[in-house]
Amino acid sequence: MTEELVSYECRDQVAVLGLARPGKRNAISDRVVEALALAIERARTEAKAAVLHGHGAHFCAGLDLAEHVARTPFEGVLNSRRWHEVFARIELGPIPWFAAIHGAAVGGGLELAAAAQVRVCDETAFFALPEGTRGIFVGGGGSVRAARLLGISRMTDMMLTGRSIDADTAERWGLVHYVTPPRQALDRAIALAQKAAGNAHLSNYAIINALPRIAEMSRDDGLFMESFIASFTATDPEAEARLRDFLDRKTGRVAPPAAR
């Protein structure tokens, strides 16, 4: 029987994908990358939001080093570019992704989590980028995604020293958005994904794909682009119906934040 490397289920328009190598701390092998690619494509066609988590005691301990050490430099480049291609389908796809993190999110595991739009972790989570201490460099998009979340200075520290950070530090540094008690990150991520799945599809697509691009533009170019996107999304029939519901007081107003 074929080993299941990525579990998949769909709950109320939310696809839930689980890395399923708990004996290897969900280390990412070539086969895991390809299984993840297939599951991502399925989620994009079957769901309106998705959650990524890890089975067992950890989210993901990163790259499967046993495979990596046997590669030639060119094979390493091709492997890294495949990670980029697959992770980009999470970062810049048609549906929002939520990462539910517990235990280790180390190296490639942190890079995978950084591809999601929203990251939820529980109090057991810890994060590290130990590539520098192992004689290698990040290859799964960390120098772009993780560096923009953490800042170059903090990422440099983590890579040079092998420093790991806990959940509270990760939230303070902007790496994660929510921290839950132990064993509650997945449920929280699913609840948040279900809320996002209820948004207008075009609005979600614009948030996911336009905001990162606007951030790379000049101030005036970004404002110009914002005007067109705001006008375009407002003419979407789904958005128009939602706006009318709000004006007719069929939907509630924004409430104050609840205590965490």
C-alpha triplet 252, 254, 256: angle, nearest 5°: 125
Q: Over 90: is that where the pLDDT of 29 sits?
A: yes
Mean pLDDT, rounded, of the chain: 92
| Percentage of residues in the chain having pLDDT higher than 90 | 78
d(CA 182, CA 62): 21
Q: Which residue has the higher pLDDT, 135 or 22?
A: 22
d(CA 224, CA 2): 51
Are 99 and 118 spatial neighbours (Cβ–Cβ below 8 Å)? yes
Are 80 and 46 spatial neighbours (Cβ–Cβ below 8 Å)? no
Q: What is the pLDDT of residue 53?
A: 98
Q: What is the pLDDT of residue 235?
A: 80
Beta strands per DSSP E along the chain: 6-11, 14-19, 49-54, 97-101, 104-106, 118-122, 126-128, 164-166, 178-180
Express each pLDDT in 209-249 by its tens digit. Answer: 999 999 999 999 999 999 989 888 878 777 666 655 655 66
How long, in residues, is the chain? 260
From 204, 172, 152, select the one nearest 47 (Cα to Cα): 204
The predicted model gives 23-45 an average pLDDT of: 97
Q: What is the pLDDT of residue 117?
A: 98
Q: Over 50: is that where the pLDDT of 26 sits?
A: yes
d(CA 121, CA 229): 32
The predicted model gives 134-161 an average pLDDT of: 95
Express each pLDDT in 160-192 by its tens digit. Answer: 999 999 999 999 999 999 999 999 999 999 999
Q: What is the pLDDT of residue 21?
A: 96
User: HSE of 147 in the Cβ direction (CA atoms, 13 Å)?
Assistant: 11
The sign of the dihedral angle between the CA atoms of 155, 150, 178, 169 is positive
Express each pLDDT in 51-84 by its tens digit. Answer: 999 999 999 999 988 887 778 999 999 999 999 9
Instruction: Kindly give the pairing relationship between strand 126-128 and strand 164-166.
Output: antiparallel
User: Which domains occur in the chain, in start order?
Assistant: 6-197 (3.90.226.10), 201-247 (1.10.12.10)
From 223, 216, 62, 38, select the one nearest 139 (Cα to Cα): 62
The predicted model gives 130-151 an average pLDDT of: 94
Are 199 and 142 spatial neighbours (Cβ–Cβ below 8 Å)? no
Q: Tell me the backbone φ, ψ of residue 30, rounded to 5 degrees.
A: -60, -40
Q: Tell me the backbone φ, ψ of residue 203, rounded to 5 degrees.
A: -65, -45
Neighbouring residues of 114: CB distance < 8 A, sequence distance ≥ 6:
141, 142, 145, 146, 149, 175
Q: Over 70: is that where the pLDDT of 115 sits?
A: yes
pLDDT band for 1, please (50, 70, 90 cuts): very low
Q: Just list the catalytic residues.
A: 111, 131
Q: Over 60: is that where the pLDDT of 132 sits?
A: yes
Q: Over 80: is that where the pLDDT of 143 sits?
A: yes
**DSSP single-letter state for residue 260:** -
